[in-house]
Amino acid sequence: MTIEAGRRALRAYNARRHLLPKCGATTKRAGLPCAQTAMENGRCRYHGGKTPKGKDWHRITRPANADKATAKMGTLERRAKQRAQRLAKMTAEEQAQYRAWRQSHTPGPPEAREARKQQRKQNAEIRARGAAHARSEPSAEMRALLDRITDLKAMQKELTKQTEQMVEDGREECEIFR
């Protein structure tokens, strides 16, 4: 096919594109109907047109001509089968121990697991320091500041009471400022 023939085909498609059915989904941002051309199921490729159908819709589908993907899936299935056989041979106690290990074990490369372990250790040390600091006795300067704050709060309460009393009595001056 020549470039010119491709251009003609594209122009012909674009000329009748506005007549084709549109996707029935609404957009997130504006709430307007999607302007993409719909596939056979009434949705565009972005809103579910390429979703597999049938009872196995949730299973991984294999591309037709993908030897590498087929080999990888075969390896995964073989390992899953071997794991199931090992679990079947275990005693109930060993199975419980294995399940506990699976729940506590974080997958990933050793470097990433070690980094997370170090981060947890540092966080625990920081929490311990903070708890120890909170339990220690305040210094003399801190005690003086806390006493001053208590005195100022008491004075604020007294001023609030006097202000309320002035409003009730209709006076213009507070007794503290005389």
User: How is 116-161 classified by DSSP, letter by letter?
Assistant: HHHHHHHHHHHHHHHHHHHHSPPPHHHHHHHHHHHHHHHHHHHHHH
Give the mean pLDDT per block of 10 residues along the chain (178 residues). Answer: 84 87 82 84 76 67 69 89 92 90 81 89 89 74 93 93 82 60
> How many angstroms separate the CA atoms of 147 and 39, rounded?
75
Please report the pLDDT score of residue 138 as a whole number. 77
pLDDT of residue 62: 59
Query: What are the domain boundaries of the chain?
Result: 1-52
The reported pLDDT for the residue numbered 148 is 96
The pLDDT of residue 25 is: 84
Read off φ and ψ for residue 33, nearest 5 degrees: -65, 145
Q: For the chain, where are the alpha helices, taking DSSP H only? A: 3-16, 67-89, 92-104, 110-135, 140-169
Using CB atoms within 10 Å of the CB of residue 23, give its burial: 0 to 12 exposed, 13 to 18 middle, 19+ buried: buried
Determine the pLDDT at residue 128. Answer: 86
Q: Is 63 exposed, middle or buried (0-12, 13-18, 19+ CB in 10 A)?
A: exposed
Query: Which residues lie closer than 8 Å to 138 by C-beta, 6 or more apart?
Result: 146
Token pair, residue 20, equals: 């084709």
Residue 71 to residue 75: CA distance in whole angstroms:
6
What is the structure's pLDDT at 44?
A: 83
Note the pLDDT of residue 178.
56
pLDDT of residue 52: 64
